[in-house]
Chains A and B, each alone.
Chain A
Amino acid sequence: AQRVTQPEKLLSVFKGAPVELKCNYSYSGSPELFWYVQYSRQRLQLLLRHISRESIKGFTADLNKGETSFHLKKPFAQEEDSAMYYCALSGGMADKLIFGTGTRLQVFP
């Protein structure tokens, strides 16, 4: 079965603390993995994708095929990082996106 699991509904940290949002997936084949973010009153937007191996706004995510995980990390959280984060996968080449249930990140001053 194709599935994305985000075990934490809410993650609260203080500004400057490290952040790790967990994502595990189940997929037969080689999926494309993404992190999407939704800031308050804004639309869902792509944060980063595993194939690009990029760091966006200080966030990174490494695909671990052995553990079927794609955790999102940031060494020092900022208040503006407070948002809803969704992990998603696709089979590539315009395939549908399968989303997790999301994790709300709250960063306190």
Chain B
Amino acid sequence: DAGVTQSPTHLIKTRGQQVTLRCSPKSGHDTVSWYQQALGQGPQFIFQYYEEEERQRGNFPDRFSGHQFPNYSSELNVNALLLGDSALYLCASSPKDRRPSYEQYFGPGTRLTVT
């Protein structure tokens, strides 16, 4: 099991463009969460998907949207990119067993640079 995988590794976009980032969860996991990590900051929660629906959302504008597919993989879309969207985007998956104190497994991240 490769664990959580993300693509692409790096991405450079221009202001105003749109971007799609992809995530495949760890085998056996059904919940995917996305985080944005700006330089020098801790990860900030964007949203979480479970059963192909957005279940929780952090304080991010509607320019940030997502999708989860039947195979539990997920996409993060960002429209009308701003310079401030430059960050490392992390995907995390968690298991079907929804016991307390579950562990989130993180992917390596996608580094997005907006110029």
Contact = CB atoms under 8 A, between A and B. Distances in A.
Partners in one complex: yes
Interface of A: 4, 6, 32, 43-46, 49, 51-52, 86, 88, 92-102
Contacts, number: 61
Nearest to A84: B42
Contact of A97 (B40, B43, B100, B108): B43
Which residue among B3, B33, B43, B56 has the maximum number of chain A CB atoms within 10 Å of its CB?
B43
Given A43-B107, A46-B104, A93 B98 contact: yes
Q: List the 8 closest pairs (A to B, CB-CB), nearest first.
A: A99-B42, A96-B45, A44-B106, A51-B101, A92-B100, A99-B43, A101-B42, A43-B108
Interface of B: 3-4, 31, 33, 35, 40-45, 48, 50, 55-56, 58, 90, 92, 94, 98-109
Nearest to B45: A96
Contacts of A6: 42
A94 B102 contact: yes
Given A94-B31, A94-B94, A96-B48, A44 B43 contact: yes
